[in-house]
Amino acid sequence: MNHDLINTIGIKQTAREEALLYEVRDVEGLIDTLDKDISVWSDFDSWGNIGVQQWVFERAMDIFKGKKIDIKCNCCEYNYITQRELEKSSNKKCYGIRCAYMIEKVFREIVLAKSKRESDGTYSA
């Protein structure tokens, strides 16, 4: 997998020229969802806001299709977390990191589901 498909940026950073830019504050309900305890917000299936779930799923599909996306957090001036560091950084308070982590998590589930479909459900991870 290409490890630069998701990028998190802070308020003072510019999006990559080839990437789609999404700001966390522009997604109604996303900050409220990510502002909960990690045990709650990291369980994607338990999210009560279907619109936010759909938005995250659509971003995961973007990267599944090979598009690059930049997530602007609006809570940090600068953000230098790489896609490889998302999981170990998911405990940080930054909404951009949490959002990117969830997109990455859903993306991995999409890839696994595709692999299972292609092998008649016999693929094991």
Residue 77 lies in a domain: yes
Instruction: Give the residues across from 22 on adjacent strands.
Output: 71
Nearest Cα to 66, choosing from 114, 106, 18? 18
The boundaries of the domain holding residue 93 are 6-115
Confidence grade of residue 88 (pLDDT, cut at 50, 70, 90): low
79/90 Cα distance (integer angstroms)? 13
Instruction: Choose among 78, 95, 97: nearest CA to 35.
Output: 95
Q: Quick one: CA dihedral 120, 124, 84, 105, positive or negative?
A: positive
In a domain, 18, yes or no: yes
pLDDT in tens, 66-76: 999 999 998 88
* pLDDT, position 10: 93
pLDDT in tens, 51-70: 999 999 999 999 999 999 99
Would 121 be classed as within a structural domain? no
Tell me, yes or no, whether 19 lies in a domain: yes
Structure confidence at residue 110 (pLDDT): 94
122 lies in a domain?
no
Q: Is residue 56 in some structural domain? A: yes
Amino acid of residue 22: Y
Res 87 pLDDT > 70: no
In a domain, 123, yes or no: no
Both tokens of 3, joined, read 């490890």
What is the total count of domains within the chain? 1
- Cα-based distances in Å from 54 to 22, 60, 94, 111: 14, 10, 21, 17
